[in-house]
Structure 1
Amino acid sequence: MKTRFTLIAALLLLAQQAQALSLPDAAALASQTSIGSAQAGYNDLEQQMQQALRAALQGNNPQLTRNLLEKAKQSPTQADYAWLKSSGYDFQTKANQQAGIALLAGFSSLPASVLDANRATVTQINLNATQGTRHQALADAEGINHLYFLADALGPRLGKAFLTAYDKGELGKAAALIKASEVSTSAAKKHFNYPRPFLHQGNTIHLVPDDVVVKDNHPYTAEGGSFPSGHTNTGYTDALLLAEMVPERFEALVTRGARYGYSRLVLGVHYPLDVMGSRMVAERNVANYLNDARYQGLFSEAREQLRAALEKECGTSLAECARSTGKDDPYRSPQMKRFYRFTLSYNLPQTTGKHVAVTVPAGAEVLLKTALPQLSAAQRRALMVKSALPGGYPLSGNAEQSFWQRLDLTAAYALATQP
């Protein structure tokens, strides 16, 4: 009993520390997972990722142009589209889009003070970003239609094996299924119709020129509504599904989804609320799919192929290949848990008074199933409740909204696995 209370006390302390993480502290942690960081092994992997991305985007063309970038998608070698199509699986896109809009309904009634803080936060992150963080943001943005961005969260050894297997077509089922599981945010963008930061009257946003991917120095912008973020939806969906397939890197991959969303603020094309909302929707969508028996069948087949391919490329067990390499593996740094916690709220204003209690929606505990297979569904739900973010942050209205806004998967995992 004493050990149990000690664990809870430790978690509460972690929550308090993470909640107090400042914007400069968050920026410093983001810099550690950016191109040009102080870790040589990590930088080598980032360089390999960039080269692979640019080669895939360019294809057989004499040079990479922005026109090619806009038409990019995974090649038939990388993604087994035929396998997925033959399954006939219906992803229920429209129904899931409407569920996402309902989940984010509170955005339309946010007070001016929250929206002001929302603008101030993205402006500070955008203007104070380092060159390395901007380069990372460009690579994240331009690689949206591929899975290269996930490699760095796997660590130098497993990350390189992932890149090799991906380009050889050994992960084809997973590559096809993961990308098909992204539920477009286009309907929500049209519904909320909120202008992007660089379009807001009186903004001072710095638009970042592309000197990383296309290398044409064209200022990076984006079209359509700002809320919620389509790129963040992609980043979280892809990262969560790969985390379910490779639970040996669960925390690192989930954090990669958050880091991908942070890149959108670095570029000045999205607000914190856009990123927060997309995280909520992506987690809800992934849980919804994983609770569907037909999807689970496809997922299991893809997962088995992916794990076998990674072990083949590693030449050892997946557990061994996934082990941390210390400073060259920044996504395994304990400090990144603080960064992840920060991205749940971006320190936006909380409401005062009594908040809705954390209630786990039916089936949401599936997000911890492969990472914590030794626990029952009830135990995983209990972890989600114990590790949740404090209440009152924006987008946490009714019980379902409050749960997804406050869900901290990395803290829940840590609570179950710490010594």
Structure 2
Amino acid sequence: MISTTLLFAEERNLESQTPNIKLGLVQGYLDPKTLPDFLKLIPNAPVQDSAKQKLDNAVSQKYLALQGTSRWELAKSDADLTFPNAAETFSCALGVPINKKQTPRLYRLLQRTLTDAGLATYPVKNYYQRVRPFMLNREPICTPEDTEALRRDGSHPSGHTAVGWAWALILTEIAPDHADAILARGRSFGESRIVCNVHWNSDVAEGRFVGAAIVAKLHANSQFLSDLKRAKKELATLYAKKVKSSNNCEFERKALALPKEK
């Protein structure tokens, strides 16, 4: 059994090992210079009147029907990548709480991989500076306080989706018995960006590609692999103690069960 004192000591040790960088993010595992060249790997952002853009328009129009529903509220929560909120994203899928006190190693692993996957999208975002759906359809977004920042931030590919899909793949490895629920939540996390009216369907698809590529790179990183093993032990302890998630999992289940069209 891990005592509270040891947990707090572990927490302090993790914080000293992974200093904060810009925007409140902690240092990732990967050297940005070693990342795949996503400008060469990701297709061009769809152009106006192309078949891909017409498909994006159609998908966005369908998801607009979810404004004001519980799915819209879940998408709003998914938009918040700050911790501790983001740590609990997969809590219902896993069936256990994810927080700084009970799962310090997994908590820090999620923080560090957020940096790796999220920032990996920026060379492509900055190159294309694709406009976001709300800038064209003039419909609301689920986080209106972010409007001006999002106007300046390229849409292609989706950074949130890259993060969410990377987390889904990592957590599937940590808790394989919950794989279906984890992967479904990872998929819906990316779809939340379409629900929010801030990303196109093709942005989300390419975000998943970035997330998967980053996870592949992480598996060649010894520190990540070490933390992965420790995170597995943390979850095994919670499962053995039958500790349950404290999230409103019924709300999440119902929100994700809503159809995409009214």
TM bucket, shorter chain? 0.7 to 0.9
Does 1:121 pair with 2:59? yes
Q: Paired residue for 1:280? A: 209
Task: Write out aligned runs for 1:205-216 (5 A).
Answer: 205-208=139-142
With normalisation by structure 2, the TM-score equals 0.73
Task: Write out aligned runs for 1:260-275 (5 A).
Answer: 260-275=189-204
Is this contact kept in 2: 1:228–1:274, CA < 8 A? yes
SS in 1 for 2:139: coil
Unaligned runs of 5+ in 1: 1-75, 211-217, 316-320, 343-419
Does 1:152 pair with 2:92? yes
SS in 2 for 1:304: helix
Specify which of 69, 94, 106 is matched with residue 131 of structure 1: 69
Match of 1:152, as an amino acid?
A: C
Is this contact kept in 1: 2:156–2:203, CA < 8 A? yes
Does 1:175 pair with 2:104? no
Q: Paired residue for 1:255? A: 184
With normalisation by structure 1, the TM-score equals 0.48
Q: Paired residue for 1:100? A: 38
Q: CA deviation at 1:293?
A: 4.3
Q: Paired residue for 2:3? A: none
Q: CA deviation at 1:173?
A: 1.4
Q: Which has the higher contact order (CA 8 A, sep 6+)?
A: 2
SS in 1 for 2:79: helix
Give distance in 2, aligned partners of 1:79 and 1:268: 40
Is this contact kept in 2: 1:79–1:174, CA < 8 A? no
SS in 2 for 1:256: helix
Match of 1:273, as an amino acid?
A: S
Specify which of 242, 245, 262 is matched with residue 314 of structure 1: 242
Give distance in 2, aligned partners of 1:134 and 1:89: 30
Q: Paired residue for 1:193? A: 129
C-alpha spacing 1:95/1:126, structure 2 compared with 1 (3 Å): farther
Give distance in 1, aligned partners of 2:28 and 2:82: 23
Does 1:141 pair with 2:79? yes
Give distance in 2, aligned partners of 1:108 and 1:79: 46
Does 1:304 pair with 2:238? no
Task: Write out aligned runs for 1:372-411 (5 A).
Answer: none
Task: Write out aligned runs for 1:338-377 (5 A).
Answer: none
Q: Paired residue for 1:233? A: 162
C-alpha spacing 1:84/1:246, structure 2 compared with 1 (3 Å): farther
Q: CA deviation at 1:258?
A: 0.8
Task: Write out aligned runs for 1:15-30 (5 A).
Answer: none
Q: Paired residue for 1:91? A: 30
**Residues 360-405 of structure 1: per-residue CA shift (max 9 Å, x gap):** xxxxxxxxxxxxxxxxxxxxxxxxxxxxxxxxxxxxxxxxxxxxxx
C-alpha spacing 1:128/1:311, structure 2 compared with 1 (3 Å): closer
Give distance in 2, aligned partners of 1:253 and 1:329: 13
Is this contact kept in 2: 1:229–1:274, CA < 8 A? yes
Is this contact kept in 1: 2:174–2:232, CA < 8 A? yes
Q: CA deviation at 1:171?
A: 1.2
Percent pairwise identity: 21
Does 1:82 pair with 2:30? no
Q: Paired residue for 1:244? A: 173
Is this contact kept in 2: 1:243–1:253, CA < 8 A? yes
Match of 1:115, as an amino acid?
A: Q
Match of 1:153, as an amino acid?
A: A
Give distance in 1, aligned partners of 2:181 and 2:175: 10
Is this contact kept in 1: 2:78–2:89, CA < 8 A? yes
Q: CA deviation at 1:282?
A: 0.3
**Residues 202-222 of structure 1: per-residue CA shift (max 9 Å, x gap):** x242333x6xxxxxxx55535
Is this contact kept in 2: 1:103–1:281, CA < 8 A? no
Equivalenced residue count is 230
User: What is the RMSD computed on CA atoms of the aligned residues?
Assistant: 3.5
Unaligned runs of 5+ in 2: 1-9, 20-26
Q: Paired residue for 2:22? A: none
Q: CA deviation at 1:139?
A: 1.0
